[in-house]
Structure 1
Amino acid sequence: MTTSRRRAVLTMASLAWKAERVKSSFIILLSLADSVTVWTAGQGLRSLVDSTLHGKGTEILVAAAVAAVSFAIGANASRVRTNLRDEVCERVGLVVDQEVLALLCELRTVEHLERPEYLDRVSQVRRRGYLLAESCWAMFDTCTYVARFLASTALLFSIHPVLVVVGLLGVPPVLLNRLGQRRVRNVLSETAGLARAEEGLLWTAVRPKSAKEVRIAGAGPFCATRAQQIWDEVTREQARSRARNSVFTLSGWIVFMLGYCGGLAFVAVGHGTSGEIVLLIAVASQLRGQIESTVSGTTRLLEGLHTLDAYLWLRSYAVTHTVASRSAPPAQLTDGIEFDEVSFSYQTGGRQVLRKVSLSIPAGTVVSVVGRHGSGKSTLVNLLCRFYEPTAGRIRVDGVPLSSVSPVDWQHRISGVFQDYGHYQMSVRDVVGIGSLEDAADENRVRGALAQAGAMGFVERLPQGLETLVGKYTDADVDPSEGQWQKLAMARACMAREPLLFVLDEPTASLDARSEHDLFQSQMSYARKLGNALGTITVIVTHRFSSAALADLVLVMDSGSLVETGNHRSLMSLGGIYADLYQKQWRAYNFAEMAD
């Protein structure tokens, strides 16, 4: 076992001890008692048979009592130990599941959530906290089984030294099982990606958004068939590896049974007493159970170690990709934000989605970013928010490289509404309040944010107002419309304290024309207020040129490059991409109004 694995197992043991000290102590004591009773039960059984044959009454009673008590302790200790271990593992498993979730969330970027090798490890660990917690007890149980095995081997030695060979022949099944389990672990790792693909297809068929398209297209059977094909491939590979493991284990058992039959014949032909023959039969049957338990324990241990490897990988990734605490962002912006020859690729050596972008955004400016789909608009925002780091070039905030600013502190000074805003299944108060956890209990702040977002009207019509549970998965059965969810997201953004960057990524995409106009005017008013107070820069990503025209500065992106900058008037005079797209959209809207 590697040092990192050993450390992780000890960590799990420490968690178990802290969570349930009394139960953990009982588990250890019962395991020790279980090991000792193997020896005492064997000696009592041999003495009972020999005493009975020689008619020694007192010795018969003592031997019977020792054997009975030992068997009773052995039988019940194992059962009680298993129940206690399950209780401890369940409790520790919840703690481990929470830690795994923390590992996923503590990284300040989001690029790890797009890496297949990262997602493979997540799929191996997700909801397996119990298995991780059990890994320390599986190792302890394996040690207990080995101790019982050694006690049985000592009993064989007490009959005749040659019979130790019978005990040693119990080792091959364990070693061969371990060899087979190594292949099983490799196959589990190799098929993790396919298992994720199968799960993704099933989710596509049941998630409300994608399920509509699936039903209209009649693609449900296709998705189910494809998912079944992938699952068949996964299970076929895993079943094949487990079949090989069974063959290895069976080979070991055959070797053991041949040795056992030879030992029984050896004692029967005159190398032991009647009590020793009975003891050999009893020990051999115990050996079989002990070996099976050892094989089972080793299997559970190795399965736990497989999950533990993925857990350790995630912990290591979190450590190596966590940025050390650096300088804090400024209290307010005075100069602004500058891009200097910034380029970005989502994959190392892959296609550049941003190419040598250079620009300067003065403090307090409202900026619109426009362009065709795939032009790099959202990527620009992602870099500003430090969800990703530039591949080349540098971003400066008030002259200070953004890479030298603590990402945690910087993101705490960002607010906004993104395309994929959350549909949090909780009360309205909490849905809005999590935008600033420090102020979540302040009802005036929450109501002010809702009013700023134009959401107070529909919230007041809800059955319990701010306390109403919203979302289709809550008991209240109050599911806001998409436009109302977007207003709640906007209110959540308005809760932030003193943001230096205010991001609106398609902020009115789910609203009707009247609501869009009202909300956008409110957003612009809020942006101007932030700009005057803190020098906050507001970045609006939009396809609606009527909204873009109200910005102080318009950035026009095309194929990953910044091709035009200026305000609406100057860009229209330029007669370039912006003017062309604006006129096309204006004609389309006018045509639609004439048709109505």
Structure 2
Amino acid sequence: MTETPETPAGAEQRSGLAALAARLRDRDEWKFFAVLPRAHRGLAVAWWALILVRGALPALFAVTTGLLVDAIGDGTSLTGPLCAAGTVFVLLRMLVPLHSQVGVALGERLSCLLHDLLVETTTAPGGIAHLESRELADELAGARDFDQGTVGPPMAISVGLIAGGLVEAAVGAGQVIVLAAYTWWAPLLVGGAWLATHWLLKESSFWDRNTGEVLDAQRRSDYTYKLAVDAPAAKELRIFGLGDWTVARFAAARRRLVELRWQTTKLQQRPLRWTILVLVAANGVTLWSLARDAASGAVGTGEVVVFAQAAVGASAIAFGGLNWALPPAAGSVAAVLGLRESMAEAGRLGGTGELPAGEAPRDGIRFREVGFSYPNDDRPVLDGLDLTIEAGTSLAVVGLNGAGKTTLVKLLCGLYEPTSGTIEVDGTALGELDLPSWRRRLTAVFQDFNRYELPLRDNVAPLGAPDEVVEAALTDAGAADLADLDTVLAPGYDGGRDLSGGQWQRVAVARALCAVRQGAGVVVLDEPTAQLDVRGEAEIFDRILTATKGCTTVLISHRFSTVQHADRICVLADGRVAELGTHDELMAANGRYRQMFDLQASRFEEEPDGIAG
């Protein structure tokens, strides 16, 4: 059988349909409805089924009412029409609370799904550039609004409001179909008039939340809210009397969001006048025609009742709740889905990552002419850095603020990739190693370490370790008698307790030392003892050096009493190695290191209590 070749017109039509389908898939509303089955398939099916049933019932009630009127006029039995009308009426009332519960449950499931997607979005990329980007931070603040109620109702409420809007649309469509039984032009005229309200008043529901002004107000609102409710800020807010200041700034940011939405979505007088004119004309013509035909006997009493109800009921199609409830909810879903792509791209690391790290480093780590600039910032933080860290030795890195010390650590941990040059581990580029296996060989204590609201055991070994290993790590960190391993380190839990800053710092050190006992061979210490006094710092660093003997250790610190214990010291300046050697060698060279050391030593002489630094 010979196939008929496709005509150019047919190909063009198919291409046009494909383009239309693509545009529909790109719309936020499409993404919202498409994600509902992912939240819960059964609830989504029930939600849609109830929309259709509730949408059809008012039209059916109008028909049964007309049958009842005819029965009364004809003197026939009222049992059938009354039972039919009563059944429809009961269903109309009963399905409303049922649909409400289904909507709340589906909204909560959708909220859980969006939270899951956001957590996956922020944690999945190998790097952290996506979390340090202001632009993406703004997008994340906007995406998280689906449960905060700043620019729209929480999702559990929004899904119910959207269902109500869809039910109204279905009700209006059903009434228009009934009206077609009267005359062909009535549904076109009345239905078209009510549909026109969506076009005439569309500006009243559109709000672009991705503008810089809106995102800035959102960010300020979120920030001041956290200041008010988070414990770390509570002390200063009270000491400096900033309670009212915080409330005022939060209220101002929220008012700004309301004002921005109002200025964007306020109804314009001209579209409103046109809307009223179109609706009065369309409904007036239809009802006048129906009254004329009723007076002439062309339609019966029952039919007049049915068609009049249908003409009035068609108003459910009008611009209403769906238009203001759906855009923020759909926008939130689209923002979450879009954020996955943008964050994955920003946080992606380009290395192939196929080679296992094994027992690396056996020989050492080499920064070979490494340059680095942060995204959207042309200023180089590292500029031709050339540095070798021999395996099994300790290296301290010092320098003024902004010299690139923490950036060096981020690159070593594989949180960013060099803009130029390479980092080599035993002669192999770091980007060619399997990143998870490299990170298993590496442990770190950062200045801004995490404080997990978990038992002490899980704070030291979040992924698990034998109790004897956890206890040994705590002993190595000088925290053997800190608390029972089952004690939750947060005061808000039964039996929970908080720790001082220095105690928390020892827990963070114990976490790193626990990883060493489980096989980590590279130890990164970025200001690991910033919350300890000088004596405590010297004591804990001696403990670290003892516990990490044989490991490759990189220490970032401003305190030279600690730095001088390292095997070698590197002074960074302008993104390069300015000086490199032992403490004695650098002191003898009388260069940058000597100047910084003498400056800090003079401060200790002025403060004999030893609390400077």
| Partner of residue 19, structure 2 | none
- For 1:522-561, list aligned pairs within 5 A: 522-529=543-550, 531=551, 537-561=552-576
Superposition deviation, residue 470 in structure 1 = 1.8
| 1:541-562: CA deviation from partner (whole Å, max 9, x where unpaired) | 1111121111111110123332
| Partner of residue 150, structure 1 | 173
Whole-angstrom distance in 1 between the partners of 2:90 and 2:257: 44
Unaligned residue ranges in structure 2 (runs of 5+): 1-22, 148-152
Question: Match for 1:369 among 362, 375, 397?
Answer: 397
Whole-angstrom distance in 2 between the partners of 1:326 and 1:113: 25
| Partner of residue 462, structure 1 | none
Name the structure where helix makes up a greater proportion of residues: 1
Whole-angstrom distance in 1 between the partners of 2:168 and 2:68: 26
Whole-angstrom distance in 1 between the partners of 2:253 and 2:273: 30
Whole-angstrom distance in 2 between the partners of 1:247 and 1:472: 59
8 Å CA contact retained: 1:185, 1:306: no
Percent identical: 26
| Partner of residue 13, structure 2 | none
| Partner of residue 454, structure 1 | 478
* Secondary structure at 1:458 match in 2: coil
Superposition deviation, residue 234 in structure 1 = 2.4
* Secondary structure at 1:310 match in 2: helix
8 Å CA contact retained: 1:12, 1:136: no
Matched, 1:201 2:224: yes
Superposition deviation, residue 101 in structure 1 = 1.4
| Partner of residue 337, structure 2 | 312
Superposition deviation, residue 187 in structure 1 = 6.8
| Partner of residue 540, structure 2 | 519
* Secondary structure at 2:571 match in 1: strand
Superposition deviation, residue 135 in structure 1 = 8.2
8 Å CA contact retained: 1:506, 1:543: yes
Superposition deviation, residue 447 in structure 1 = 0.8
| Partner of residue 244, structure 1 | 267
Code of the residue aligned with 1:557 in structure 2: it is: L
Change (3 A) 1:246 1:573: farther
* Structure 1, 380-389 or 9-18: larger mean CA deviation: 9-18
| Partner of residue 256, structure 2 | 233
- For 1:307-346, list aligned pairs within 5 A: 307-320=332-345, 321-323=347-349, 326-346=354-374
8 Å CA contact retained: 1:264, 1:280: no
Whole-angstrom distance in 2 between the partners of 1:10 and 1:325: 38
Whole-angstrom distance in 1 between the partners of 2:577 and 2:24: 51
| Partner of residue 15, structure 2 | none
Superposition deviation, residue 224 in structure 1 = 4.1
- For 1:49-448, list aligned pairs within 5 A: 49-55=69-75, 57-58=76-77, 60-126=78-144, 128=146, 145-164=168-187, 165-182=189-206, 184-186=207-209, 190-204=213-227, 207-244=230-267, 252=275, 255-271=278-294, 272-288=299-315, 290-291=316-317, 295-320=320-345, 321-323=347-349, 326-434=354-462, 437-439=463-465, 442-448=466-472
- For normalisation by structure 2, the TM-score amounts to 0.85
Superposition deviation, residue 502 in structure 1 = 0.7
Superposition deviation, residue 565 in structure 1 = 0.8
Superposition deviation, residue 119 in structure 1 = 1.4
Code of the residue aligned with 1:342 in structure 2: it is: V
Matched, 1:490 2:509: yes
Superposition deviation, residue 117 in structure 1 = 2.2
Code of the residue aligned with 1:340 in structure 2: it is: R
* Secondary structure at 1:457 match in 2: coil
- For normalisation by structure 1, the TM-score amounts to 0.87
| 1:515-563: CA deviation from partner (whole Å, max 9, x where unpaired) | 222211110112214x2xxxxx211111111211111111101233321
Change (3 A) 1:106 1:70: same
Q: Figure out how many residues of one structure are paired with residues of the other and give that number.
A: 573
| Partner of residue 50, structure 2 | 30
8 Å CA contact retained: 1:453, 1:523: yes
Whole-angstrom distance in 2 between the partners of 1:413 and 1:122: 32
Whole-angstrom distance in 2 between the partners of 1:35 and 1:222: 50
How well do the aligned residues superpose, as a CA RMSD in angstroms?
3.0
Superposition deviation, residue 329 in structure 1 = 2.0
8 Å CA contact retained: 2:161, 2:322: yes
Change (3 A) 1:399 1:477: same
* Secondary structure at 2:208 match in 1: helix
Superposition deviation, residue 181 in structure 1 = 2.3
Whole-angstrom distance in 1 between the partners of 2:146 and 2:100: 19
Change (3 A) 1:325 1:309: farther
Code of the residue aligned with 2:415 in structure 1: it is: F
| 1:483-510: CA deviation from partner (whole Å, max 9, x where unpaired) | 1000111111122132232111112221
| Partner of residue 5, structure 2 | none
Whole-angstrom distance in 1 between the partners of 2:389 and 2:568: 8
Whole-angstrom distance in 2 between the partners of 1:594 and 1:38: 84
Change (3 A) 1:96 1:414: same
Superposition deviation, residue 318 in structure 1 = 4.0
8 Å CA contact retained: 1:111, 1:388: yes
Matched, 1:574 2:589: yes
Whole-angstrom distance in 2 between the partners of 1:569 and 1:504: 22
